[in-house]
Amino acid sequence: MVYAMHGATEVFSCNSELPYSIEDLRPMNFADFNGPTNVDLMMMFQYLRSLPFFLSLSSSDKKRTFQYFMAIDSMLTTAYLSMTLGRDNHWMVHFNGFYISMKPAPPSGDAPEDAIYLQRFSPEERKKYQLYMPMKLAQYTELCVPFAEINPTFVEYALLKLIALLLRGSYTLRKLALIVIGNQYGFWLSRPNAVDQTSSSYWQRLISSTTAISALGRYRCGG
């Protein structure tokens, strides 16, 4: 409703796991790209409030948890949308429906030979391009591509978002993460048709993707 101009009736009349269709996607326009909107931030906060442990955190822990979740949510949503909507075209699809074509990869903007390419942008666009593009290229190669290779389901993607948050949190939250991981692994073992996804290598790859999330999250959160 925020980015794709869909009405409430259309959105709530179906149970789709994707907020967009291919037709909704738009090429990235750096002049209009400003990160999450106030609506995005409000939805993230409401999600955190729904977690049983969040309200018991101290004010400083709540603030830090929210900062980490801002990075984790946007990065994992981008990875999931890139896998489900952008894989065939080698698009990096962002949470807001903008995409960047990654084949061939665009210039990073910080190399001397990129000067000619950057002439197509206004000064404001050029500044944003040079700020965001190096991070976007790293995000695509270090997170989106490995994420697509793992090919998680929607439920696993949602679970990974929570696990990544817990593993980046305090010691108490990291202990909760181990409980969540253990419970989910037991759930998969109980499913007769989930043999392939109960292998230790599958879960090792799934959980190891939080390493990239943590590294990129520190970059975005300033520590």
CA atoms of 184 and 156, how far apart (whole Å)? 9
Q: What phi, psi does 93 have (nearest 5°)?
A: -100, 120
Report d(CA 206, CA 209) in Å as an integer: 6
Angle between helices 154-167 and 59-84 (to 10 degrees): 150
- In this predicted structure, what is the pLDDT of residue 194? 46
Strands 91-93 and 26-27: unpaired
Task: Tell me which amino acid residue 40 is.
Answer: D
Q: pLDDT at position 38, please?
A: 85
Are 93 and 82 within 8 A, CB to CB? yes
Q: Which of 119-133, 146-160, 164-178, 183-197 has the lowest mean pLDDT?
A: 183-197
How does pLDDT run across 59-83, given as a tens digit for each residue?
Answer: 888 888 888 888 888 889 999 999 9
Greater pLDDT, 192 or 41: 41
pLDDT for res 170: 58
Question: HEC states along 152-201?
Answer: CCHHHHHHHHHHHHHHCCCHHHHHHHHHHHHHHHHHHHCCCCCCHHHCHH
CATH number among 1.10.565, 3.40.50, 1.20.1630, 1.10.287, domain 8-198: 1.10.565
- Going by pLDDT thresholds of 50, 70 and 90, the confidence category of residue 219 is very low
* pLDDT-derived band at 222, boundaries 50, 70, 90: very low
